[in-house]
Structure 1
Amino acid sequence: MTCPHCASATTKEQAQKTALGYRPFRCSACKRLFNERTGTPFNFLENSTDIVLLVVLWRLRYKLSLRDLAEMFLERGWEFTHEAVREWKTRFAPLMTVRYYPMHGFGSFDSVACFCCAFDELCNYFCPRATAGEPVSLSDQRQLFCERLTALQLMMRMAS
């Protein structure tokens, strides 16, 4: 592991672990002691990284209140305040949040509408329909699908 203080690669792992179970290292060049968290956003956390990230994930995903999260984890043996949850969310939510762009790749709503119509048409083409409401057996569904797929592939080859 490289030293976060002087970027030296000559480090030695120490025998004891930190209170949270992280491996400490000593740099041979600058003689400073550091652990796996040093130099990361997770440095100076008093709780386990897994717990902190789980709290932030639940806050973002399920929109639980700050006090509810603190109470839920208190019942599981992890003690922290709702203010800690607020601080963790501010600090770690930007690292976890991924933006969702539903129209990414489509130039306009007309393109999306055209794609959706074509997709629905294709799904309906492959969907086996029963006459008079009786079910279609699985072997018949498979055979019909293969026939329609072959016909569609032939049409695509002829069109190109």
Structure 2
Amino acid sequence: MTKACFCGTFDPLTKGHIDIIERAAGIFEEVIVFVSVNSEKKEQFPKEQRMYWIKQATSHLKNVRCAIQTGLVVEACRKEGARVLVRGLRNSIDFQYEQNMEAMNHQMAPEIETVFLMSDPAHLYCSSSNVRELLRYGQDVSHMVPECVWQDLEKVKR
């Protein structure tokens, strides 16, 4: 059984993330989506909220589950018995960042393969950073986030 992990801050979860999760779920027997705590980022939404969104948005995928990850990604993969780390790429900037991370991860855990999935062109601009920026200015992000995220964001605005 091939298990894969997909790790990210998902702050907030976007339709681009869901696209990668759905595609990974079609390739691997099990996908564990880890809500990561990034020491370099100040997160806007609590990790429990982000995990809830992932569970809601992936409830139609029976081979996907979600957990909170602390520590290194490769340690989380090992703990789950996952041999694959899935990463999404939108552009060359993502590629440069992910290439560096893959090299570090490979040094620590050569048994874990990183698989890159290219973003659907419809989601090339769809990043959590862009969503947060648009939210700061009161803009509509309903086209960028899953329905469950949009509903919760709308409740906060009221």
Structure with greater helix percent: 1
TM range (shorter): under 0.3
TM (norm. structure 2) is: 0.25
Q: Which has the larger Rg?
A: 1
| Higher strand residue share | 2
Greater RCO (CA < 8 Å, at least 6 residues apart)? 2
